Amino acid sequence: MTGPNSMAHVDATVSSAGMARDVSGSDHLSLNSVVEVELTTNKTVFGTVRWIGKLEGIEGPRIGLELEEPTGFNDGTFSGQRLFQCAPYRGIFVKLDSCRPDSRFQFPGDR
């Protein structure tokens, strides 16, 4: 999901409860941000940020996305715990730094 042409890095401050209090960096992402992610299958998916935090047993901050298309893997649950609500196959958890603002809504000077 990352590489020489990958998305800009974004840092998060994660609270002890596992929820991000602030997301900052060259791109600002927060709950309800519309983002895109390039999957390892070289397919770009689009979605809305529904959850930001740490997943038990996985290193680093993650983002829970509600995808526009049913190409996800869950309904907002991770290891049996509901972290956000969405339709089946519309949820996905990805590394925080693999998300970037949705380019469909960017002005030419913003990229």
Q: What is the pLDDT of residues 57-67, one digit of tens each?
A: 999 999 999 99
Instruction: Give the whole-number percent of the chain exceeding pLDDT 70.
Output: 73
10-110: what fold?
SH3 type barrels. (2.30.30)
As a whole number of angstroms, the distance between CA 104 and CA 50 comes to: 19
* pLDDT tens readout for residues 5-24: 222 223 333 333 344 434 44
The residues, ordered by sequence, that sit 6+ positions from 73 with a Cβ below 8 Å of its Cβ are 89, 91, 92
Beta strands in the chain (DSSP E): 10-14, 20-25, 34-38, 44-54, 61-67, 77-78, 81-82, 91-95, 99-101
pTM (predicted TM-score): 0.73
